[in-house]
Copies of this chain bind each other. A is one copy, B any other.
Amino acid sequence: MKKSVITVSREFGSGGRTVAKLAAEKLGYDFYDNEIILKVAKESGLSQEIVEKYDEYATYKNSFLYSIAMNAGADAYGGMSFANQVQIAQIKIIKDLAEKGNCVIVGRGGDYILRDRDDCLNVFIRADMEFRKNWVLSHYGETDKKIENRLKDKDARRKVFYRSFTMREWGMCSNYHLSLDSGVIGIEKCVDIICDLARGN
């Protein structure tokens, strides 16, 4: 069966975003990542201030602080935290995009938000630490923080986000229709498998 919506979740440094982008290009589908979805959220009426707060908190390096911060701001904004407001806007946007169809959506718990659609293929991309280290260094460069710690922090934050948002464990096979190790399988082959399944071949 043809899949007109692809969601891609990925470990940081697995090349998952690149896989998603290339798959979108090959399929002629629209491509939406976090940045684009936040932009749409802003345009659709979410205040600049809330989106900035959300962005600011999302840079927390410690997953415990991140978790607290994501629930902050409730009093100031009519009983809802910054995170809740942004998340509610994002859920609506992702559902609307899926309704239009022919799109690839990266991150933001898209697999969970669209779990009831049978035209949706949920994909997870992962790789081992060595591949991810090399990917991050060659694509995003070095920072003053050790590469191992950058990977650990990102993993921890994605886990916290996913669990708090979905009540499920991040990275479980049961959340996805397809999970691929990009380091072993290769970026191009991952793209081919996704496109082949999307076309219902």
Seen from chain A, the residues whose Cβ lies within 8 Å of a Cβ on chain B are 121, 124, 126, 171-174, 176-181, 184-185, 189, 193, 197
Q: Which residues of B contact A179 (CB under 8 A)?
A: 124, 173, 176, 178-179
Q: Write the chain B residue with the least CB distance to A126.
A: B173
Q: Write the chain B residue with the least CB distance to A183.
A: B177
Q: Which residues of B contact A171 (CB under 8 A)?
A: 172-174
Q: Which residues of B contact A176 (CB under 8 A)?
A: 173, 179, 181
Q: Which residues of B contact A181 (CB under 8 A)?
A: 176-178
Q: How far is the CA of A172 from the CA of B184 in the complex (A)?
A: 17
Considering residues A124, A174, A193, which has the most beta carbons from chain B within 10 angstroms of its beta carbon? A174
Pick the 4 closest A-B CB pairs, nearest first. Answer: A179-B179, A177-B181, A173-B179, A177-B184
